[in-house]
Amino acid sequence: AWFKKGYVWVLGNNVPAGYVDYPVPFKVNMIMSGSIAIIKLTFVQQFTDALTLTSTNLSYRIIDYSVF
């Protein structure tokens, strides 16, 4: 299987700390474990303040190139 790596941007909020709809990047990656595809998102920034993340949809497509 092939998976295009990239980023998903999720909005984060912490109004008292000055973060309102702050875009936060998550790196998207896929690993195969046998016949199971595991989609992994990794937070790539560091903050000293906590952010409340907005629910965000992610679409992906996996194309199977194996020969049966």
What pLDDT does residue 20 have?
96
Phi-psi region of 31 (alpha: psi -120 to 50; beta: other; left: phi over 0): beta
What separation in angstroms does the CA of 17 have from each of 11, 12, 20, 21?
15, 11, 9, 12
Tokens 């996996």 found at? 62
Digits of tens for pLDDT over the chain (68 positions)?
A: 566 778 999 999 999 999 999 999 999 888 888 888 888 999 887 878 899 999 998 887 777 776 65
Beta partners for residue 6, in sequence order: 28
3-state class of 15 per DSSP? helix
pTM greater than 0.75 (yes/no): no
